[in-house]
Structure 1
Amino acid sequence: MNDRDSTGCEEPAAAALRPPRRHGLGTTAVHAATAPGRVQGACVTPIFQAATFAFEGTEDGYHAVRYTRCNNNPTQLALAAQLAALEGAEAALPLASGMAAISSTLLHLLEPGAHVLVPSSTYGGTHDLLASLLRRWGVSASAVGPDSGPREWEAMLQPGKTRVFYVEALSNPLVQIMDLRAVVAFARRHGLVSIIDATFTTPLNLRPLELGFDVVLHSATKYLSGHSDVIAGVVAGSSELVEGVKATANLLGPSIDPHAAFLVSRGLRTLALRVVRQNSNALELARFLARSPKVLRVHHPGLEASPYHQRAQALFANGGCGGVFSFELADGVDAAETLLKGLRLALVAPSLGGVETLVTRPATTSHAGLSPSEREAAGISDGLIRVAVGIEDTADLLADFGTALAGV
């Protein structure tokens, strides 16, 4: 029995090589939603709420088994095809969460003794995975800063051990941008697998595979589904690599539920409309806050004053840098709490990418696990406010934040 036999899973049709993208992303998002074909003429792929399927093949063996845990339910496969089309990838694999996508990918690519390059500001779940489970498994990691380059990365390499260069399209919550083209070139030069978490940018704003990245990851909980009503993740890349991740995921068991897959697919159909609006709303709100004497600084790469503005202009498409940015008030944490309490439209809640605007203070949520000194070293003050902008009318958002600022 080979390694693939041991997973008990059929080869997915969605992993087949795809032709180059011919249409715009908005069109692709809508019309790839019924791939690989319409069921009974339905305009959308239905929910196949089935755990197992009757065996109708002529071959014996595990590869002929269709079982939802193995990520080969028709609803799962339709979403996989839709995601691959949007990313311009040979294959994609939807999973039960963004962390399922991250952990399945890293567990597939790494072994005891391996070493990873990872951003110093990486997502908390990724940091904890590397610092706990993978560290106990013998994997080590070196933190690279957002403004570092090949010279610093060379010094961190561990010959024969470094396997992966893992980055994020935008850091959370300071929305910093690494030199992504330099990352790709460095990874290729040293035989590393380049992975990017592109949750904050989506395929609409950034095309990682076209830049040369090997693997694209998303928390589809955020912009891809877009309505704060589902938990899901995505891995996209070459057929060979995605098949390897799929084999690992099938052993771990984080398959996406068919109903969740349906919700992600439905959300993807409006991705182009939502993200363009969120791009615009976020930039307008960031400019509005930057003009206030009560605001100390605004972190948004779309602002000309941002040190990452030029990189954003060179990398990001469709007029924006996503819907997330952060800012700090001149009077610190007490003023931040007063502002949060004064907001009426924006909700104080974690997460991002939904149609509603969410605000949070990272020191009490996403980065609460760091010590005050660690947060200070990362540039995350206790009064920093992160905004995940929705699709509300721009004037209403500006009025909401303006009223809250007036009460500070």
Structure 2
Amino acid sequence: MNLKKPGINTLCTHHGELEDKEFHGSVSPLYMSTSYAFDDVEKKRYPRYYNTPNQEALCKKIAGLEHAEDALIFGSGMAAISTGIMAFLESGDHIVLQNLIYGGTYNLIVQHFEKFGISYSFTDALSPQSFEELIQPNTKVIYIETPSNPMLTITDIKAIADISKRHGLVSVIDNTFASPVNQNPIDLGIDVVIHSATKYMGGHSDICAGVIATSKKYRDQIHAMGIRLGGSLSDFTVWLLERSLKTMGLRVQRQNENAMILAEYLNENEHIIKVYYPGLPDHPDYELANS
């Protein structure tokens, strides 16, 4: 056991806590105000600027969980996805995406990017070579989602990160289905990590939110786009998400166990034609998923 490095449950519970300095409560206080008096004109608190007390505390926790330098929070997973992608693209640019991605992301790309003058290419396969072959002189971003929603396909994260760096591109991943409990893409070289926090992070079916974890290098670029698109999160939902994260480590651990039991049961059921679960040894991405 590494006593110098906090474990996932310690990070979930204690990292980035908003201290109750007046009453010393064990739960973070909630600041619902949308207006704040300020002494410094350079520091103006406003919910759309992502800098209220609750927002800043939650961003610190998210960054810690994803081993990132900084983080931002949004009103939905799609708000995070659209902001995280559009922050690095403009008219004339090109993006490479894997062929199996969340439907909301797919529709954003195919229904709107041509209107913005942005071209795109979807891979025919998930091998690293299939991504590199699609890179053009005007490519700016490589976007992956692993495990993918809903087919649970697995993409080689480190290989994609290496390709992106070799070509000077920004690598972006939707890490929703893995959660920070199972996977930390920044440790593998990815630049921008996105989550729909409505899923495992929220965990209680009572919030809708999205998050982005990244480096300080890219944070300002994403933050500026986020302010323009207006996808920030209300402080009450921020507070609920911070509450939910305290138990995420334990919840996801049990969800992993339950998913394995269910997958094995269905895999042995003669009435089931095919089970798509990368934890099963007969899944084509089994070794990569466990690497």
TM-score range, shorter chain: over 0.9
Aligned partner of 2:143 in structure 1 is 166
Task: After superposition, give the CA deviation of every residue in 1:172-214 in whole Å (9 maximum; x if it has no partner).
Answer: 2211101222111111111110111000001110010000100
Aligned partner of 2:59 in structure 1 is 80
Alignment of 1:170-209 (within 5 A): 170-209=147-186
Give the deviation of 1:134 after TM superposition: 2.1
Alignment of 1:7-406 (within 5 A): 22-35=5-18, 37-40=19-22, 41-57=24-40, 60=41, 63-150=42-129, 152-159=130-137, 161-314=138-291
Alignment: residue pair count: 287
Instruction: Give the 4+ runs in structure 1 shifted more than 6 A.
Output: none
Aligned partner of 1:342 in structure 2 is none
| Structure 1 runs not aligned, ≥5 long | 1-20, 315-408
Q: Which has the higher contact order (CA 8 A, sep 6+)?
A: 2
Q: Given that residues 33 and 45 in structure 1 are in contact (C-alpha distance below 8 angstroms), is that contact kept between their aligned partners in structure 2?
A: no
Length-normalised TM-score, structure 2: 0.95
Partner Cα distance (1:22, 1:39) in 2: 26
Give the deviation of 1:124 after TM superposition: 1.0
Give the deviation of 1:155 after TM superposition: 2.7
Q: Given that residues 164 and 171 in structure 2 are in contact (C-alpha distance below 8 angstroms), is that contact kept between their aligned partners in structure 1?
A: yes
Structure 1 counterpart of 2:202, which letter? S
Q: Given that residues 33 and 265 in structure 1 are in contact (C-alpha distance below 8 angstroms), is that contact kept between their aligned partners in structure 2?
A: no
Partner Cα distance (1:205, 1:84) in 2: 15
Could you say what secondary structure the match of 1:64 adopts?
coil
Give the deviation of 1:104 after TM superposition: 1.0
Could you say what secondary structure the match of 1:94 adopts?
strand
Structure 2 counterpart of 1:280, which letter? E
Question: Which protein has the larger Cα radius of gyration, Structure 1 or Structure 2?
Answer: 1
Identity of aligned residues (%): 39
Give the deviation of 1:168 after TM superposition: 0.6
| Structure 2 runs not aligned, ≥5 long | none
